[in-house]
Amino acid sequence: QVQLVESGGGSVQAGGSLRLSCAASGYTVSTACMGWFRQAPGKERVGVATISRGGGNIYYADSVKGRFTISRDNAMNTVFLQMNSLKPEDTAIYYCAAEDRTYGRSWFSGCRFGYWGQGTQVTVSS
């Protein structure tokens, strides 16, 4: 059974930083495209960043480019999202996602996502 468990969310002031973690079990993150999505209140869930199976291709949404960094620790089977220079508009629930090439229903940056974590809240105050 695939489990993705996010942690690291919280409340920060604008300009601050947070590091989100996504620990996977029942799934090997090094062999798949992994991503982060977010959903702000009253809005649809949108993709934030992805890292390809080999790690050679990394993609960021324009809204976070230059501020967020996605990375992966294969030994820990964990994916990270370092978020710097946070803005109030970054406030959202952040979800970790793993590729499901057969049944995934969410496409982002060429990856088909079908496994999701429970989400972690990030709140940025001005």
Question: Could you give the percent of the chain with pLDDT greater than 90?
Answer: 94
The answer to whether the beta carbons of residues 53 and 98 sit under 8 Å apart is no
- pLDDT, residue 109, reads 92
| DSSP letter string, 21-33 | EEEEESS-GGGS-
Whether the pLDDT of residue 56 is over 90: the answer is no
Whether the pLDDT of residue 55 is over 80: the answer is no
- pLDDT, residue 61, reads 97
Give the Cβ contact number of residue 94 at 10 Å.
Answer: 24
Mean pLDDT for the stretch of residues 38-45: 96
Whether the pLDDT of residue 4 is over 80: the answer is yes
